[in-house]
């Protein structure tokens, strides 16, 4: 039975999503899931390494080891939940933790120690998915549109898939046309950072705090004026572009904190909506996944801005919103093992399809 573990730890820096997926059936069947929160120390070190630090090579190596141990713990949990031993698992697909994403400079860094992960689990590891696409002239991201096309495509319905993690990305699935996909701007990243600064909470449950504020039109206009939003795809972004320092450059200092939160939520909703209208045409349906799909206030604003389009979560398509990306990296690892390309050149801008990732045998 072709079983693969998928691990995803994204820009939200909240923890690692782990899934065990059976690829002997179509669509693939998820046998077990587990979420392991990051320790305060791992999260703190990962945040520090988003910018240049003294002795950062040493710090990054130590964090990579800590992440590998955390990933191994998550793998052991999904194995135990499914009652599957290591010998039955073909591979672990591990995205790693992004600390720099600079495709224009020819690199993207996802911290991980896949050799240690293979040693701790006794399972082969597929890692470093982005580098080959970047070497071929691509952005190295987003990589999930190929998976979205495989599991969410419909021969009759024009669909868009919006993944709202720390960064938001779109996949355009129009029948009879090539798949398109790109990062469209901040998702939860700024919302999470702002509420943590002012409320001491890691995220805004259901958008409740944002709902207490009001959108600040001038601030919203200034944020949407950032050049990233008007760049034609293919394009990708991360904490390098969108962070609290970026936000603070647009603040006067007199804003109520809850109004800034409401404006950031509107930024996510409007930037995604504008990207859909500008580059995806007029999809019949929009399906949302990632942590943002649990934000009721955000889902309401997405529907408000797209009144003639069905807006729903991927739960309704049989793929629970919390696990889509982890399943996607299991799928990408499975393709790597089979020698099949994992990127879509029309999405990333690479010169062609490429087999992604490096394999660390058990």
Q: Say whether both 131 and 170 belong to one domain.
A: no
Q: Say whether both 298 and 269 belong to one domain.
A: yes
Q: Say whether both 309 and 329 belong to one domain.
A: no
Pairing relation of β-strands 107-111 and 97-102? antiparallel
Q: Say whether both 263 and 200 belong to one domain.
A: yes
Q: Say whether both 313 and 326 belong to one domain.
A: no
Is the pLDDT assigned to residue 332 strictly greater than 80?
yes
**Contact assessment for residue 290 and residue 324, using Cβ atoms and an 8 Å cutoff:** yes
Q: Say whether both 76 and 100 belong to one domain.
A: yes
The pLDDT value recorded for residue 84 is 97
Domain that holds residue 157: 145-317
Segment 333-360, tens digit of pLDDT: 999 999 999 999 999 999 999 999 999 9
The pLDDT value recorded for residue 1 is 63
How many domains are contained in the chain? 2
CA distances from 127 to 37, 109, 141, 233, 358 (A): 21, 11, 14, 25, 5
Q: pTM score, two decimals?
A: 0.94
Domain boundary among 300, 317, 334: 317
Segment 121-148, tens digit of pLDDT: 999 999 999 999 999 999 999 999 999 9
Spell out the residues 6+ positions from residue 312 whose beta carbon is closer than 8 angstroms to its own: 285, 286, 287, 288
Q: Phi and psi at residue 10, in whole multiples of 5°?
A: -100, -165
Segment 191-235, tens digit of pLDDT: 999 999 999 999 999 999 999 999 999 999 999 999 999 999 999
Q: Say whether both 154 and 257 belong to one domain.
A: yes
Interhelix angle 40-48/56-82, nearest 10 degrees:
140
Segment 144-179, tens digit of pLDDT: 999 999 999 999 999 999 999 999 999 999 999 999
Q: Say whether both 90 and 224 belong to one domain.
A: no
Q: How confident is the model at residue 11 (pLDDT cuts 50, 70, 90)?
A: confident
Q: Say whether both 27 and 126 belong to one domain.
A: yes
The pLDDT value recorded for residue 297 is 98
CATH of the domain at 174: 3.30.420.40
């Amino acid at each position: 039975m072709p079983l693969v573990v998928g691990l995803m730890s994204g820009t939200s820096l909240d923890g690692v999503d782990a899934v065990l997926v059976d690829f002997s059936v179509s669509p693939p069947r998820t046998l077990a899931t587990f979420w392991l929160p990051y320790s305060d120390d791992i999260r703190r070190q990962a945040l520090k390494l988003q910018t240049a630090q003294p002795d950062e090579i040493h710090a990054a190596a130590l964090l990579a080891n800590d992440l590998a141990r955390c990933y191994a713990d998550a793998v052991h949990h999904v194995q135990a939940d499914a009652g599957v031993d290591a010998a039955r698992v073909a591979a672990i697909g591990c995205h790693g933790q992004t600390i720099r994403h600079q495709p224009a400079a020819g690199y993207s860094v996802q911290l991980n120690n896949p050799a240690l992960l293979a040693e701790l689990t006794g399972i082969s590891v597929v890692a470093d998915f982005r580098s080959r696409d970047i070497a071929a002239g691509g952005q190295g991201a987003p990589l999930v549109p190929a998976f979205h096309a495989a599991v969410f495509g419909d021969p009759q319905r024009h669909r868009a898939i919006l993944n709202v993690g720390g960064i938001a990305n779109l996949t355009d699935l129009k029948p009879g046309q090539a798949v398109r996909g790109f990062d469209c701007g901040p998702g939860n990243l700024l919302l999470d950072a702002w509420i943590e600064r002012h409320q001491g909470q890691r995220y805004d449950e259901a958008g409740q705090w944002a709902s207490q504020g009001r959108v600040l039109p001038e601030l919203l206009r200034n944020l949407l004026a950032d050049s990233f939003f008007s760049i034609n795809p293919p394009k990708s972004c991360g904490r390098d572009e969108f962070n609290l320092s970026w936000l603070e450059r647009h603040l006067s200092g007199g804003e109520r904190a809850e109004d800034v939160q409401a404006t950031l939520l509107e930024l996510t909703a409007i930037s995604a909506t504008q990207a859909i209208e500008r580059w995806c045409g007029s999809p019949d349906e929009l399906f949302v996944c990632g942590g943002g799909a649990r934000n009721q206030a955000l889902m309401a604003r997405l529907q408000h801005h797209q009144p003639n389009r069905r807006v729903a979560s991927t739960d309704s398509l049989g793929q629970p919103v919390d696990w889509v990306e982890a399943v996607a990296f299991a799928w990408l690892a499975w393709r790597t093992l089979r020698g099949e390309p994992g990127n879509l050149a029309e999405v990333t801008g690479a010169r062609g399809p490429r087999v992604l990732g490096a394999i660390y045998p058990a």
